[in-house]
C-alpha cells in the first residue's frame, strides 16, 4: 500500500518541483522593473514616470488586462508618450509583482480603490485612466467610484458588461478547494507553456503579433501558481460583478473615449464597447475595421490622439481610425507580397 501511494505521489511531487523551478526562471527572465509601495497592509507594484518639464498632457494611469502585467502597457505606450506626461503603469493586485491584498481585490471596484490609493502615494491627484480588456472594468469603476481622481477615461477593447455564456473550464478548476491548489502548482506551468505561443497569437488575431511581444511583456508570469489563482479568481467573479455594477455607468461624467476593433473575438465589441457608448453620455466610440483585441498595439496612434482629445485638444478620432485602417492594410499587403 505504501509503495502504491509513493508511486502516485512521486509524479505529483515532481510536477510541483518542476513548476516551482520554472516559476523562478520566469521571474529571472522578467525581473521587476517597478517599485512596490504599501497601499494599506499590502504592496502594489508600479512603474512611475515623473511629470516631465515639457508635459502637454495630464497624468495617465495604465491598467492592464487579464493574464497580463504592467509590461504589456509599457510596451505599447511608454516610448510614444515619453516626455509628454506623467505616467503610472500598474500591476493589478495579485498580478505581476503586486501583492493581492484582501478579498475585496478580487473584484474591479476593489482593484480600482487600491490603484486610487497608489495614485495618492505617488502624488497623482487626478489622471486619465486607461484600461485595456479586463482593465476596462476597473477603469469604469474609477468613473463610478472615484470621479474626483478621474480626469478622463480611455477604454481599449474593454470588458465592461455581462455576457452570455461562461468562462473557460480551467478558471473554475483553479479556484476549487484542494484540487485547485494541485492544479495551479503542478499542471498550470506545463499546460500554459504549451499554450503560450498560440494564446498570444490569438490575442492579436486577425492581426500579426509583434515579433518581440512575448520577449518584452512577460506573459509567462501569469503561470506562477498564486498569480494564476488570482487571475482565475478575477474571472470567476467578473460576471456577477458586472451584473451588479454596469447599470451605474450612466453616472460617469468624465470625458470618455472607447476604442475597439470590429474583429475582436475575445471581448465582443457589440456588447461591451457599444454598451459603454450607449451608457456614458457624451462618450465617443471609435471602431477600427480589421482590428482584433489589441488596439493598444495596433492603433497606438489613435489611442494617443484620444488622450489628447480627452485633455482638451482638437482631434478627429474617426479620421485617425480611418488612417490606422489604411496603414494596417498596407502592412498586410507588404507581408503578403
**pTM > 0.85:** yes
**Predicted confidence band at 11 (pLDDT cuts at 50, 70, 90)?**
confident
- Classified by CATH at the fold level, domain 33-168+240-336 comes out as Rossmann fold (3.40.50)
SS (H, E, C) the chain: CHHHHHHHHHHHHHHHHHHHHHHHHHHHHCCCCCEEEECCCCEEEEEEECCCCCCCCCCEEEECCCCCCHHHHHHHHCCCCCCCCCEEEECCCCCCCCCCCCHHHHCHHHHHHHHHHHHHHCCCCCEEEEEECHHHHHHHHHHHHCHHHEEEEEEECCCCCCCCCCCCHHHHHHCCCCHHHHHHHHHHHHHHHHHHHHHHHHHHCCCCCCCCHHHHHCHHHHHCHHHHHHHHHHHHHHHHHHHHHHHHHHHCCCCEEEEEECCCCCCCCCCCHHHHHHHCCCCEEEEECCCCCCHHHHCHHHHHHHHHHHCCCCCCHHHHHHHHHHHHHHHHHHHHC
Work out the pLDDT band at 336, boundaries 50, 70, 90: low
In this model, does residue 334 exceed pLDDT 90? Answer: no
pLDDT tens digits, 291-302: 999 999 999 999
pLDDT computed for residue 329 by the predictor: 86
Averaged pLDDT for residues 202-207: 95
Indicate the domain borders of the chain: 33-168+240-336
Predicted confidence (pLDDT) at residue 190 exceeds the cutoff of 70: yes
Give the model's confidence band at 337: pLDDT under 50 very low, under 70 low, under 90 confident, else very high: low
* Region 50-57 average pLDDT: 95
CA atoms within 13 A on the CB side of 65: 21
Which pLDDT belongs to residue 330?
84
Q: What is the pLDDT of residues 239-268, one digit of tens each?
A: 999 999 999 999 999 999 999 999 999 999
| pLDDT score of 1 more than 70 | no
Put the strands of the sheet holding 60-63 in their side by side order.
35-38, 43-49, 87-90, 60-63, 127-132, 150-156, 256-261, 284-288
Q: Is the pLDDT of residue 87 over 90?
A: yes
Average pLDDT of the chain is 95
For residue 27, with 0-12 CB atoms within 10 Å meaning exposed, 13-18 middle and 19 or more buried, which class applies? Answer: middle
Confidence of residue 5 (pLDDT cuts 50, 70, 90): very low
Residue 10's pLDDT is 72
Do the bridges between strand 256-261 and strand 127-132 make them parallel or antiparallel, or are there none, so unpaired?
Answer: unpaired
pLDDT (mean) for 195-219: 96
pLDDT at res. 12: 83
Sorted by sequence, the CB contacts under 8 Å of residue 105 that are 6+ apart come out as 93, 94, 111, 114
| 30 vs 28: CA distance, rounded Å | 5
What CA–CA distance (Å, rounded) separates 202 from 120? 37
Please say if the pLDDT value at position 163 is more than 50. yes
Q: Give the span between the Cα atoms of 46 and 69, in whole angstroms.
A: 10
pLDDT 10s digits, 92-149:
999 999 999 999 999 999 999 999 999 999 999 999 999 999 999 999 999 999 999 9
pLDDT for 172 beyond 60: yes
* Per-residue pLDDT at 32 exceeds 90: yes
Amino acid at each position: 500500500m505504501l509503495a502504491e501511494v509513493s508511486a502516485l505521489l512521486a509524479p505529483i511531487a515532481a510536477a510541483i518541483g518542476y513548476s516551482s523551478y520554472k516559476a523562478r526562471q520566469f521571474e529571472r527572465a522578467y525581473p521587476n522593473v517597478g517599485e512596490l509601495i504599501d497601499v494599506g497592509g499590502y504592496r502594489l507594484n508600479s512603474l512611475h514616470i515623473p511629470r516631465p518639464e515639457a508635459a502637454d498632457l495630464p497624468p495617465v494611469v495604465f491598467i492592464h488586462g487579464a493574464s497580463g502585467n504592467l509590461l504589456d502597457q509599457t510596451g505599447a505606450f511608454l516610448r510614444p508618450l515619453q516626455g509628454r506626461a506623467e505616467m503610472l503603469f500598474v500591476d493589478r493586485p495579485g498580478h505581476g509583482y503586486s501583492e493581492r491584498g484582501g478579498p475585496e481585490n478580487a473584484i474591479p471596484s476593489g482593484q480600482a480603490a487600491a490603484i486610487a490609493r497608489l495614485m495618492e502615494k505617488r502624488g497623482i491627484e487626478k489622471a486619465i485612466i486607461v484600461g485595456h480588456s479586463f482593465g476596462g472594468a476597473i477603469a469604469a469603476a474609477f468613473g463610478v467610484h472615484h470621479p474626483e481622481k478621474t480626469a478622463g477615461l480611455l477604454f481599449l477593447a474593454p470588458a465592461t458588461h455581462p455576457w452570455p455564456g461562461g468562462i473557460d473550464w480551467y478558471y473554475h478548476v483553479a479556484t476549487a478547494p484542494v484540487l485547485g491548489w494541485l492544479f495551479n502548482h503542478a499542471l498550470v506551468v506545463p499546460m500554459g507553456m504549451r499554450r503560450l505561443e498560440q494564446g498570444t497569437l490569438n490575442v492579436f488575431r486577425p492581426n500579426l503579433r509583434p515579433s518581440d511581444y512575448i520577449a518584452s511583456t512577460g506573459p509567462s508570469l501569469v503561470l506562477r501558481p498564486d498569480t494564476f489563482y488570482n487571475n482565475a479568481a478575477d474571472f470567476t467573479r467578473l460576471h456577477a460583478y458586472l451584473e451588479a455594477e454596469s447599470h451605474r455607468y450612466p453616472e460617469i461624467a468624465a470625458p470618455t473615449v472607447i476604442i475597439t476593433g470590429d474583429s475582436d473575438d475575445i471581448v465582443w465589441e457589440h456588447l461591451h464597447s457599444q454598451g459603454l457608448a450607449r451608457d456614458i453620455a457624451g462618450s465617443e466610440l471609435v471602431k477600427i475595421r480589421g482590428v482584433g483585441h489589441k488596439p493598444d498595439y495596433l492603433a497606438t496612434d489613435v489611442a494617443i490622439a484620444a488622450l489628447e482629445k480627452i485633455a482638451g485638444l482638437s482631434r478627429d478620432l474617426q479620421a485617425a481610425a480611418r488612417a490606422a485602417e489604411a496603414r494596417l492594410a498596407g502592412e498586410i499587403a507588404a507581408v503578403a507580397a
